Structure 1
Amino acid sequence: MAHAVNVRPMLDFAALIIAAVFLLAGLVKGVLGLGLPTISMGLLAIAMPPGQAAAMLVVPSLATNFWQMVGGPYLRGLLKRLAGMLAGVCIGTWLGAGWLTGPYARFGAIALGLSLIVYAVLGLSAVRFKVPHDKEAWLGPIVGLLTGLITAATGVFVIPAIVYLQGIGLEKEELVQALGLSFTISTVALSFNLIGAGVLNVSLAATAIIALVAALAGMWIGQVVRLRLEQATFRRWFFIGLLLLGIYLIAAPLVR
């Protein structure tokens, strides 16, 4: 007679790991105003397929970014100014439906690693892009489309959208709200892909609650830390960490 396997300790350990990942990701977001999807996807992809990691990301990402999106007075103006880019994000994400969960999903970790490396190198460099106002009408949709395609392939929606948003001359608080808006739309668009693939469903409810609570707790801690820490130092080590994580995600599948 076969012995029953007690899976409760494994489930508890998995929940602990997920909580720790989202606590850290929330802390980074609390300090910098970004980083939750990047950190959580990068760390979770070490232990699970990127599609599954992206499904766990949806609820905490949507909640924290919606909070950031509505937490300022610039939303109406940003919606008008960024409409083309946001439409491009949706189209690009839906064009890439299945990339995280289909036959090419095994390349997702490598694509994610490349995305993290590019993001980290840009963050560590002194290069800053300036987008002339008269170029936004056609450049915004192109940036959105590219961001959507990368989102569909990696579950991370920062490149090249964040470079574009930093380059169009937004004030500090406008930029924070614009990031929340962009990330919220990207999360919603990605969720449709994941629902269609069957990896985002009610069975993830308990995990989503754990991730959300941990992310919100991390954000609160991060906001406290932000008042006491030199942000430039934290930002530099954040990007160094992303660079190392990206290298690992690319190298690990190649040496197995």
Structure 2
Amino acid sequence: MKNRMIKTGWSLPRLGAALLVAGTIGAAAFGLRVTPSAAEDATVIPAPVLDETAATSPMNTETAIFAGGCFWGVQGVFQHVEGVTKAVSGYAGGAADTAHYEMVGSGETGHAESVQVTFDPHKVTYGQLLQIYFSVAHDPTQLNYQGPDMGPQYRSTVFPTSEEQARIAKAYIDQLQAAKVFSNDIVTTIEPGKAFYPAEDYHQDYLTLHPDQPYIAINDLPKVRNLEKLYPERWRAEPVLVMAGAAVN
């Protein structure tokens, strides 16, 4: 049973979330009060004071790596950001030989479910991606969990790919902490020098390909809606997909 869940992209926490959705729908049908999903909430936060200068950047392409819970939702958010040319689900923080879904799910590999974002810094800056990451893509105050997903593999972590990214990320976390925009402390870690390993094909474009799946509906689609609502100037309606020719439901 466990292997079948893993093969189809389900973990035990994600199955639990699906059952929660079913229970919520049933409760609503009987007129009972239903508490909205925490994923429907997003925090309005200020833009970073310290950021790269897009107009003078010598590069046409940069990469950034973010971890913040299940990579399905994080990937889905960044695939809808203007200026992003690719967003790949994968693993970062551990070794190459343990970068496999079954092993990462143990919470003992050092990996976090992550998304590698390739972007044009002339269209969207690293700091602007961080703003979306902290306000829409996940809750940076949840330590070693995100919504229904528990364990260090779901931790809130920035994996900078340069010293400049590390400097901007640290300054932004300090800025947000000082401004007290969140009711709890930010627990996001900064882990430089970590390699990224793409996840299995069936994890790629998961939100786009399975919008009606209960886990996606309750945990991830609200994040995409919040992106469009809070950052209309960054929004792109058509997501950039990883798998060429993927059939969208």
TM-score normalised to the size of structure 1?
Answer: 0.26
Q: Which one has the bigger strand percentage?
A: 2
User: Which structure exhibits the higher relative contact order, with contacts defined as CA atoms closer than 8 Å and separated by 6 or more residues?
Assistant: 1
